[in-house]
Amino acid sequence: MTLSVPSDSRARPSFLAEQSNLIGLAAIILLFWVLFTSLAPGFVSTFNLFALSRSLAVDVVIGFSTMVVLATGGMNLAIGSIGVCAVMASGYLMQTLGLPIPVAMALALLLGAFLGWLNGFVIVRSGVNSFIITLASASLFLGGMLILSKAQTFNALPPEIAAFGRMRWGFLSPLLFVALGLGAALIVLFRFTALGREILAAGANARAAELSGVPVGRAIIIAHTLSGALAASAGLMLVFRLGAAMPSIGQDWLLPSFLAPVLGGTLLAGGYVSVVGTILGAFLVTTIRSGLLVMQIGNFWLQLFLGLILLAAVMLDRYRSVYAERRSLGRRDSGRRNSGRRA
Amino acid sequence: MSTLTRNMSFGQRFLANEWSALAVAIVIGLVALAALSPAFLTEFNLYVMLRSFCVVLIVAFAQMLTLAVGQMNLSVGALGGLVAIAVGGMMEKWGFPVPVAILSGLAIGAAGGLINGLLTVRTGINGFIITLATASAFTGINLGITESIPFYNLPAGFVAFGTGRFYALPYLLLPPVLIAIALAFFLARTVPGRQLLAVGGNPQAAELSGIPRDRVIVMAHTLSGLLAAAAAILAVAQLGSAQPTIGVDWLLMSFAAPIIGGAALTGGHISVAATALAVVLIVIIQNGMVLAKVDPYWVQFLLGALILAAVGLNRLRAVRAGGA
């Protein structure tokens, strides 16, 4: 699924390179499935597949949350903090105020969108790098949430919450279909709407976009608002899964939030996203995590594997694009552009 | 700019300085805390404050060096944790003498930084992603080796260094002070130090003037790893045990101090003194919170607010300087 703004101002994967990236990713996932299934038969048990589909749903949405901001060439380090703010807000609204579930969920999503909007607004108004702003706001949001909630878990939520979390469609969790639905909406946004194209244009070349009349500031603010709402959705999915609103949610989101889109080929520089790639990237991460758990290698080595896989994936991608460039440019030594060594 | 500075009075020059706001904030904080809390100026409280200053300062320097060349090191904390348990393990399990363990720990840190630097330069991939990945790998090795169990039985002399003090001055303060002086000298007076700032300031211009850009970036990452290791070893001495969790909360702090001290993410603009003052301010705020018995969660909140305030202030100064 190629979603990019045509512009020759920057290098971006060609259609073929993009497809080969997705096919390569799918092949790696398949390889791991074969490996885990043969090593640990419990891996394809309906129980494990159900658990896998639930965590996949969350990983996919976390990945989307970072992806929409990467589209503008920015970053959002506050995803975990926004997620946990939404989680605790939903817990407070349902348990303490006794609001109906849909109302509480809608308000929590709104809070997430608002916090994201706040990020975007400050970034655009101050002109300061989104890394710094969201690093600071992550601390601010998390601190504010802890001060207000006193780090107390809401664990007397309506029973329907946990029931929905346990619900199965076949051997899959309905949460996964929610995540895929969000993915479909994002494909429509980036491919078919003016707004989506504006966000990508702002990321590809902010100056050029500005000069051609794209409201760059507005596009960045909307991307951050969307990112906040998606982070809140991921948090709420965890509330369904855990049946409780915990203040510890979101603190380990940073790595997976970047893993999924980057493995899927989304550029850090902006201007290009791959929704299907992000889903596959999240799928790879969830597969490895689940497989290592089933094989009882446990969480301790998991971090090492995820780190090495991210490294391997980005390097592979780098060399593939360098190779493609060399082939298309003939003898010009463009591949060494970035290593910049001089004789 | 220099002729402008010469024509200004001392007061104006002070206000135009990057760290003037920091210095004012620190003085106000000190006076307010001394007036409000009788416990603040006691010898023991000063000792506690100075002690918590040590590790944070070196962590901030570790990040500052990568910021100097326009890079980031998200693996500062992860590398620190790995070095901490490596040093603890070498002393407890293998019975290495303290100096050998410390030197090996520093070597591991430098090697980790070297890996970061080489990967960044050779692949041309954003340092953010590279160090995000290596951070995960370092943490994985740390947890895989220790299974989250700390090393408690460290040599008595090493632990004594971590708690010893001369009146209000902890022995622990000695390494950070020496490192700060060495860094200031390195950046101001040595060729590699100047090259580091030149590459950060304008990579193209630096490269055209014959500075080996890639080598300088690798050097910055290696030094960053070395400093992360030094911070980790101090943290082990301070805690009296090698905890696998050392470093997990360094990330925010490592960026907060240099940025509050006026460092730009684009590189080339860092200050040892301003970074140190920023750490002093953070430590004073933390201490004030403890003395006022405020929820510790407020520290997290205020740190975020402080970064935003500092960034906003720098922005304002830049805008006014540009307009004048």
Q: Decide: helix, strand or coil at residue A4.
A: strand
Chain B nearest C-alpha distance from A147 (Å): 6
- Mean pLDDT throughout B192-199? 90
Q: With beta carbons under 8 A apart, name residues in chain A contacting B307.
A: 132, 135-136, 139
- Report chain B residues whose CB lies below 8 A from the CB of A141: 304
**A301 vs B140, B265, B305: nearest CB:** B140
Cβ neighbours of A315 (radius 10 Å): 16
Query: Which of B118, B123, B146 to mutate: most A Cβ within 10 Å?
Result: B123
A&B contacts, CB < 8 Å: 139
Looking at residues B118-137, what average pLDDT do you find? 90
pLDDT score at B204: 86
Q: Average per-residue pLDDT in chain A? A: 86
Q: B307–A136: do the CB atoms touch at under 8 Å? A: yes
Report the distance separating Cα B107 and Cα B284, nearest Å.
33
Give the pLDDT score at A40.
86
Express each pLDDT in A14-48 by its tens digit.
Answer: 666 667 778 888 988 999 999 999 988 888 888 89
pLDDT in tens, B68-99: 998 999 999 999 999 999 999 999 989 899 99
A233-265 tens-digit pLDDT: 999 999 999 999 999 999 889 988 998 998 888
pLDDT tens digits, residue range A138-174? 999 999 999 999 889 999 899 999 888 888 888 899 9
With CB atoms and an 8 Å threshold, state whether A342 touches B207. Answer: yes
- Separation in Å, CA of B31 to nearest CA in chain A: 26
Residue B108 to residues B83, B85, B114, B146, B159, Cα–Cα distance (Å) = 7, 11, 10, 17, 21
Q: How far A151 CA lies from chain B's nearest CA (Å)?
A: 9
pLDDT value, residue A325: 63
Of A132, A137, A304, the CB nearest to B137: A304
Distance of CA A250 to the CA centre of its chain: 12
**Are the Cβ atoms of B300 and A146 closer than 8 angstroms?**
yes
Q: What is the pLDDT of residues B223-254, one digit of tens each?
A: 999 999 999 999 999 999 999 999 988 988 89
Task: Report whether pLDDT(A124) > 90.
Answer: yes
Contact B312 A127 (CB under 8 A): no
Closest CA to A171 of A44, A20, A327, A304: A44
In angstroms, how far is CA B301 from the centroid of its own chain?
20
Place of tokens 């597949």: A49
Q: Nearest CA of chain A to the CA of B130: how many Å? A: 7
ipTM of the complex: 0.86
- How many CB atoms are located within 10 Å of the residue A248 CB? 10
CATH topology of domain A23-325: ABC transporter involved in vitamin B12 uptake, BtuC (1.10.3470)
Every domain of chain B and the residues it spans: 41-249
Shortest Cα–Cα distance, A271 to chain B (Å): 16
> Which of B141, B305, B307 has its CB closest to that of A132?
B307
Average pLDDT, chain B: 88
Mean per-residue pLDDT for B312-316?
Answer: 80
pLDDT-derived band at B6, boundaries 50, 70, 90: low
Q: What is the pTM of this model?
A: 0.88
